[in-house]
Each structure stands twice: as C-alpha cells, then as structure tokens.
Structure 1
Amino acid sequence: MFSLASGDLARFLLAVAALLFASNLLGYIAERLTVPRIIGEVAGGIVLGPTLMGFFFPHAFHWLYLGFGSEGQLFGFLSELGLIMLMFNSGLKFQYRFEKSDAKIGISIIVASTVIPFVIGWLSTYLFNPAQFLGPDHSVIALKIIVAISIAVTSIPVISKIFSDLGIMHSRFAKIIIGIAGVHDIILWVALAIASGIAVSHAGVNAGALLENLGITFGFLLVCLFIVPWVLKRITSKRANFLFRASFLGYFLLILLILADAAGYLGVDVMYGALLAGVATKLALPERLWKRVESSVKEISFSFFIPLYFGIVGLSLNLAQNFNVGFFVLYLVFATIVQTAVVYFTCRAIRNDKLTSFNLAAAMNARGGPGIVLSQVAFAAGIINQNFFAILVMLALFTSWMAGAWLRYVLKKRMRLMPGDENLEIQKAQEEVVFDAQPAFEGQ
C-alpha cells in the first residue's frame, strides 16, 4: 500500500543523490567565489534539469527524473518539505526588538520599504500586459499582489548568511537589517497568504470574500504571535509534557506540522503557517532553548532538505525555453531602483549620511530565499506561469548576489557600514561541524 517498487526506489535515490551532490558542490564553489550559496544550489538543479541536461541529453534527463509515473510527485513532496523547513528556519531568525537608538531607523525603513514598493509594484502592472504571465488560475488580482510583493520582499536567511560569511553578524548594521527583514517579511507574507487564498477559492474577487480572507489571515497571525507562544510557555517545561521529554527536536517539529496544517485547513498558505511556527517557537522559549532548537533544525535542514529544495527549484526551471531575458533585465533594474531609492531617501530623510543610507538600501535589496519561495508558492497555486516563475527566481538570485557584492566591497575598502561600526572587528564564521563530548540534552 505504501511501498515503492525496488527499481523505482533505486532510480529515485540515484536522482536525489545526483541532485544533492550537484547542489552542495556548486553551493560550496559559490561560497568559495564569495557568491551566496543559494545561487550555487539552484545552479545544481539548472545543470541537471531541462535547461542543460534536458536540452543536451534529453533521454538521460527523462530516465533519471521522469523515469516512472510517481517520481515527479516524490520530488514535489521533497520540495515541499524543504520549503517548510526553510520557512521554519526563517521564523526562528525573527527579531522583534530594536535597540532604543535604532528604533527610529528600523520603523522608518519597515514602513517605507513595505508600503511604497508594494504600491509601486502594483501600479507597475499597468505598464505591461500581466496576462502574458498568468497561470492556470487566471487571477489578475492575485498576480498583481505577487508582482507587488516581489518588488518589496527582503530575504532573512540569505542576508543573515551574507553577514555571517562577512564576519559582521555582531555589528549594529546587521542587527538593524535582520530586525527590519523579520518584521518586513511577516507583513509581506500576509499579502502572499491573501493572494494564495484568492487563487485557491476560485470564487472570484468580491468584497465579502476578500474581507473573509483578510480576517482569517490576520486572525491566524495574531493567534500565532500571542496565543501559541503563551500556551507553549506554560506547557513545554511541564513534567507531564511527555512529548517534549521524549524528543526535544521532535516536539518542535510537531508544533511546526500542526501550525502548517492548521494554516492549510484555514485556506491560509501552508508555508505561512510554517513561518509563524518558527516565530511562535522563538517568542515562547528562553534564549538558551530557542538557540538549541535553531541549531538542531539548522543541522538537518541545511545539510539535506534545503539544498534539495533549491536544487528542485533549479530543476523546475527551463531557461532555454521559458525565460524572457529582455523583460527580466528590465524587471531587475526596476525592482532594484525602486527598493534602493525608497530605502535610501527614507534614511536620508531621518538624517543618516549618504554611505549609511546606501548600505542599508543595498542590504534591503537581497530577495534570496523568500523571493524564491514567493515564486514557488505562486507557481504552485497557479497564479503565475513558468515564464514569470523563472523571472522571479532569477530576480531573487541576482539581487542577493548584488547585495553581498556591495557589502563585501565596503568592508574591503575599509569604509564604515554605519555610525557605531567605525572600529568593527571582523569575526570570521566558525566551522559548522563541532564535536562536543557533552551529552546532547545535558541541562535540559
């Protein structure tokens, strides 16, 4: 009933191994070349997918990745698991507190870089024919929301990794950007959940349906931000909580699955539930425990599920046939200019110097993981077609590379990121693999 033929299993495992090898290898090479790892991981899928292997060696590609009827569904399941883990990790990085002196900068950028680019992105759909990018759902309203989000979105995981690689995670600059990105993305994921709800309902767009979707989405958000952490604080450490005592990591993965499932049943996107599960977990736990959760989840996620997810994204792209290069270049320039200008002039308006303002603007342009997740969720929901899916993925990759390259240049030239970081001491990231002789759950 739940089995898979031996030959099919062997072929699937070979395909997974090849994709995992390519994604990790090219991700490693990308890091050595000071390029965000995510670019190499997606490139692994592009090499093995229809863009390259499928184009030059179509029989080999079909044998390996389309060899039996359910193989596509198995890769789809792996992709969804990787996406769930990525969103949970993003939620665990959520920062909701600014230093008193940084609150003005943080709040100003959050408001400006969310509202203004979103509105400009929405209005930009009147400058081109959005019907050319519509998916099978044929919802123009949902497509406009996706375009607006793609202009405004910022990446928590990628910008955090860039800061870690540069050795500046402890800087004032990094703390402000990560705090902004956390709140910023929660707001934009509300919009994505609404777009997904419109697409899933198939009932057209009317005031009643839209208000109902808004109410459910915001209600779920409030429950996850306030009620779930309150409950977790009171039950997690209880002696009667045998689930927590039985498996530390398993307990929090169960919370992840419950909230993701609840989001799906409510008509809110499953991935939004996974993101809020990470946020709720962090809000509920003392620092010592949530760092253990983050470390444990990170180990299993970034070694297997997340590289495979980004590899499968690359595998889903067919840049040889479904990619409008000219429109992508225009879209890249437009998205970069809008977000850069909004953040730069907002920072100048609150009297930051020119270099600080530009540094903050460059960092806020990294769309990375959330940009790719946006494209994947919209494509899976039938909101966008394969052409626009490819454009959004490439937008996320290029803007992440541009942000990292600028910040690396600033540090290389020994320029200041912002006031307070004049004598910044670079702290190189330590090796991920650490051998600890202490028991894993000592002090629990």
Structure 2
Amino acid sequence: MDTDSLTRFLLSLVILVVAAHFFGHWFERLKLPRVIGEISAGIFLGPSVLGALSWGAYDLFLFDEFVGHKVLLNAFYWLGLCMLMFTSGFHIQRRFPADERRDISLLVIITSTIPFALGWWAVSFIPVEHYMQHTANILAFKIVFAVSVTVTSIPVISKIFSDLRLIQTKFAKVVVATATLHDIVLWTAIAVATTVQSRGDVHVGELILAAVICLVFIAFFLVAGPWLIDLIIRLAPRFSHVYPVGYLIIVCLALAALASYIDVGAVFGALIAGMLFGSLTQPEFQEARETIRTFSMSFFVPVYFAMVGLQINFAGNLDLLLTLEYLVFSSAVVVLTVWPAMRLAGHSGMAAWNFSVAMTTRGGPGIVLASLAYSIGIINQIFFVTLIITALVTSLLCGIWFRFVIDRRLELYEGAPAPMAPDKAPREAGHAPPRETAVRP
C-alpha cells in the first residue's frame, strides 16, 4: 500500500466514524434509536444517496479507490461485529431464577419453531422464481425464507436496550438470553442452507453433521470454557493480570477464528467469549471489560453499523408492495406467536406485548442473513432489499416503542415499571448520571 492509498483508507474510516456519530446523535435527539442513525449514515454515504448524486465518483474516491480498499473496510466491519457481540456477551447471564428460566425456555421454543414452520409453509404460496437467483437451490431458499421470518437481532436489540439504559433490567436479560439461544438454532439452519447451496445435492448425513458441529462447539465452550479461562489465567498470571485488555481480546479473536474455521460463525465465537469473561469478578477484569466496551462503542461498532448501511442500494431494487406484505407477514407471525404464549404463561398484556415487539426486531442478523443469502446466490436483489428494509423498520419501531414505554414509565416485566428515561433521570434527580457500566451494543 502506497502513501496515497493509506491516506484514502484512513480518510474513509474517519468519514464512516464521524458520520455514524453525527447521525446517531441526531437520531437520539429525535428520540429514535441511535443504532438506526448509525446505519442511516452508511445509507447516506453509500450508493443509495451520495453514490446516486455523485454519478459514480464517490465509489472511486471514498470506498473503492484502490485494489483491496473494500477488503480492508470489510475487515473493520467484521471486527466491529465481533466486538459488538463480545461486549454483548458480558451481561448475558448463564443462570436464571426459575421463573425467568421458564420464560426463556418458552420463548426459545415457540420463536424457533412456529414462525419457522409458518415461513416454510408460506413459500408454497409465493412465486419464488421472482425472488431467487437462477442458480439457487429451492431447499436453500426455503430455509433462508423461514429463518428470515424468525430471526431476532441480538446486536440491535442489545444496543437499543443499552442506549435506553434497560440492559440491566430482568426484561432485557430475558430477551437477550432468549435471542441468543434462539439465534444459535437459526444460524445452525443457515449453516445447513449454505451447505445445500454450495454442494447442490447433499446427503442427510452431511446436513446433520453440519448442525451437530455447530451445537457441539457452543455446548463445549459454555460448559468447559470457564475451566479453560481459569487455566490460562494460572498459566500466564502476569500477562492476564498486567494486560487484561489484551488477554480478553486475544481470547475473543481466537474463539471467533475457531468458530469461523469450523463454519459455526465468528460472531458466535465472540459472543461466547463475552459470556465467559462476563463472569470474572476480579477488579482488573471488570475494568478491562469497561475499557473494551468504551473503545468498541466509540469506534469499531459505529464502523460496523455504518458499513451495514453502506452495502445497501435501493435504486431499481425496491418493490414497495412486496416489502409491505413481507413486513406485515413476518411481524404478525412473531407477534401472534409470542403474545398469546406469554399471556398463557401468566404475564400481563403489556409485558406480553413488550416481548412481542422485542422479538420482531430483525436488525443486524437480518441484514447479515440477507447479505449472505445474496452473495452465495440464493436470493436476488429484490428480495435482498426487502429483507434489509424489514430489518431497519422493525429495529426502528422497536426503539420507538421502548422509548415510549420508559418515557411514560409503563410496565416492562412482572408488574415493574420501566426505569426513568436516561435524558430525564439526571435532571429530575438533581445530580449527574451514574457511570454506566452496562454494555452498549
């Protein structure tokens, strides 16, 4: 890389970070989710807005100026996603009271089965040839469609809860834990879809093996991980205690690399690493977690969300009717599954509705699913844009709803009102806000 290329690469990073913070700030001022502002920054800088206005010149100057420019930016995209999942894992509990375990188990089961089955069934009634690429495998398309109806966004829902200071509530912990277990099941299905698309005709045994490898990896590190972390600390006490930030990041990237190598997914390796380190109580590790969180939320995560928006191109690929129909169908399936189930579990109508709204949030995983399915030849550009818009709209509506809940101190979960809005609490209390120790993914 010559000096000019390095200059332009660094400039593109600066532009992404500044734009993400600028749009995120103004979305917060409008009482909208900051994360949607960060994604909107990428949409503005990308081919949908700035690219369309600059007659193609923007691509050459900002984000595709030299060979490898997009590859370098994509590396920051994946680092941002991994750091987001890593910090999200810090506050995912591994043990819950009996009543919370009941709610998590119920939500995982119903949100992983009924919406998936209805999505699979719906494929029989739509003209799939209009939404598939000509090289697509019909079985792979069915899996992708069913997962797209079912998937929940761990990164976006976590960040919305964090921005609104809900991340430490029992409600947020139940939702994030549910979304984690729920998406593990769904990404296992995506691993199967990828295998089907890449290999064409595959044996049932190969599909089962892909699913088993994914589940065994996750189960092994959740069970044996704490022992391995403790062993590393005892073998390298000086490094782990003198440089705890480096130690945490090294283990995070190592697990992400291993998960990627065996096709489990780097993001889940990072999430599991965060869950393992979240239980460490030593002061140096608590401080290290806060340091990593602060830097990640200031740099890596804004780059990730801005890059998500940067990949979106609405021009010529937006089917408004299809998008509206899919948005209504996919959201209604989840709401009509979650709401009655939570009511039968004994929760109030308000609490059941809160869970329903949270579980409809597609966010980052919805966008990642769309990008993956498009890149490997399963869905076409029209359905790709539909999935992207659905992810953005559901994330936006989720943020607006929970902002409404905390502004009016409505019930959140188990009869408890939502905490005071973050922009009102310091003013009403008459003192500076307490230092935020929760993850802000």
TM-score normalised by L of structure 2: 0.87
Please say if residues 53 and 60 of structure 1, whose CA atoms lie closer than 8 Å, have aligned partners that are also in contact.
no
Amino acid at match of 1:225: L
Please say if residues 19 and 41 of structure 2, whose CA atoms lie closer than 8 Å, have aligned partners that are also in contact.
yes
| 1:126 match: secondary structure | helix
Aligned positions of 1:38-437 closer than 5 A: 38-64=35-61, 65-134=63-132, 138-199=136-197, 201-202=198-199, 204-236=201-233, 238=234, 240-245=236-241, 247-282=243-278, 285-286=280-281, 291-422=286-417, 425-426=419-420, 428=422
Single out whichever of 174-183 and 331-340 deviates more from structure 2: 174-183
* Residue 391 (structure 1) shift: 2.3
* Residue 167 (structure 1) shift: 4.2
Please, which runs of 5 or more residues in structure 1 have no aligned partner? 436-444
| 1:417 match: secondary structure | strand
Aligned residues: 428
Please say if residues 173 and 421 of structure 1, whose CA atoms lie closer than 8 Å, have aligned partners that are also in contact.
no
* Residue 53 (structure 1) shift: 1.3
- Give 1:441's aligned residue: none
- Give 2:429's aligned residue: none
* Residue 17 (structure 1) shift: 1.7
Amino acid at match of 1:103: R
* Residue 150 (structure 1) shift: 2.2
Q: Deviations over 1:237-292 (max 9, x none)?
A: x2644542452121122112222222232233333323333233335x34856644
| 2:202 match: secondary structure | coil
Please say if residues 151 and 362 of structure 2, whose CA atoms lie closer than 8 Å, have aligned partners that are also in contact.
yes
Please say if residues 244 and 285 of structure 2, whose CA atoms lie closer than 8 Å, have aligned partners that are also in contact.
no
* Residue 313 (structure 1) shift: 1.6
Amino acid at match of 2:53: F
Partners of 2:288 and 2:82 in 1: how far apart? 15
Task: Give the counterpart of 1:17 among 14, 23, 35.
Answer: 14
TM-score normalised by L of structure 1: 0.86
Please say if residues 93 and 182 of structure 1, whose CA atoms lie closer than 8 Å, have aligned partners that are also in contact.
no
Partners of 1:279 and 1:140 in 2: how far apart? 36
Please say if residues 33 and 400 of structure 2, whose CA atoms lie closer than 8 Å, have aligned partners that are also in contact.
no
Amino acid at match of 2:420: I
| 2:124 match: secondary structure | coil
* Residue 406 (structure 1) shift: 2.2
Distance 1:322 1:294, change over 3 A: farther
Amino acid at match of 1:392: L
Distance 1:275 1:197, change over 3 A: farther
Q: Deviations over 1:328-363 (max 9, x none)?
A: 111111111111111101012223232222222122
* Residue 128 (structure 1) shift: 1.8
Distance 1:182 1:94, change over 3 A: farther
Amino acid at match of 2:290: S
Partners of 1:163 and 1:266 in 2: how far apart? 32
Partners of 2:185 and 2:77 in 1: how far apart? 24
* Residue 378 (structure 1) shift: 3.6
Please, which runs of 5 or more residues in structure 2 have no aligned partner? 427-431, 437-441
Amino acid at match of 1:195: A
Please say if residues 409 and 420 of structure 2, whose CA atoms lie closer than 8 Å, have aligned partners that are also in contact.
no
